[in-house]
Amino acid sequence: MSTTSPNITDPVTIVEVSPRDGLQNEPVLVSGDQKLALIGHLVTMGAKRVEVVSFVNPRRVPQMRDAEQVALGLPEAPGVRFIGLCLNERGVARAIATQDNPRPLDEAGCVLVASDTFGVVNQGQKISDGILANNAMLKMARDAGLYAQVTISAAFGCPYEGPVPADRVVELAKRMADAGAQEIALADTIGVAVPPQVGDLTARVIEAIAPIPIRLHLHDTRGLAPANAWAGYQAGCHTFDSALGGLGGCPFAPGAAGNVGTEELLYLFGRSGITTGYDLETTLEANRWFATIMGRALPSRAGKAGDFVARPIPIGANS
């Protein structure tokens, strides 16, 4: 295994996924207008890539029932790239159709599941079917001028089959690179990974598909997502998905908790001297605002604790 030792000056790109992955498992429906307001807050925070919708069957994921409405209302936001998640060719076609919008989508995010059982539950297809489908989806997206990227879901463990062999994930990454993927993400969909595993697999995939960039999508089910992000960074990954407030989960993955909180990553990398392009205080304000929309405090620990600042001793504390 070869690893890339990051420079303390190497910046990090954070892809905000709260409008899609953050909300898809929420039982209380968030309106299209509220999602667009959330996207506006994310842009103000400093987000340069935002996963805004998922083009899926609304009967399976009711929260994404208004994908076209949200896609039609996206702000101009110069320098920001908007992503639509696509699970099949119909989803890619819906993403392509946004090219007629005043502000079209920039990226199609495809998905390949790394286990047969979860693939059938999540998308109705085994790995072999997923490879064929993604070959077609990536070509469709690229031919239409969309940046075509793919996430390898359950790359670190399957809720039904258990551990997923690293060799399988590396091979799937190679197959997707050969199919034309312009970026490949490794997803810890159910939050079972540990730092050594993340560092090892990240380094192996980077070595296998270079110069195609890699991204990490980490869930915080067991509280290890920030540590896993750091292990991924040390192995050479500089792009990470996160969700404001640590919202998220997968309706088809039992026990999956939320995404790593954006606040967690901003605190981790910011305190480590690594730039993200986000403003932590503005992010904390957005957290407090969206908590009023959700009707509860959001899960992110850093979102609750805030930044680390020295506080004056209260008057009379020693009396």
Indicate which residues carry an active-site annotation: 250
Closest to 223 measured CA to CA, from 185, 258, 267:
258
The answer to whether 274 and 11 have CB atoms below 8 angstroms apart is: yes
Can you tell me the distance from the alpha carbon of 112 to that of 120, in angstroms, rounded to the nearest whole number?
A: 11
Can you tell me the distance from the alpha carbon of 252 to that of 118, in angstroms, rounded to the nearest whole number?
A: 8
Q: How many CB atoms lie within 10 A of CB 212?
A: 18
Chain-centroid distance, C-alpha 254:
19
Residue with tokens 């709260």, as numbered in its chain: 18
Closest to 181 measured CA to CA, from 154, 147, 210, 132:
147
Residue with tokens 């996206």, as numbered in its chain: 74
H or E, element range at 77: none
What does DSSP say about strands 81-86 and 147-153: parallel, antiparallel, or unpaired?
unpaired
What does DSSP say about strands 107-113 and 183-188: parallel, antiparallel, or unpaired?
unpaired
Can you tell me the distance from the alpha carbon of 198 to that of 216, in angstroms, rounded to the nearest whole number?
A: 9
CA 37-287-265 angle, 5° bins: 115
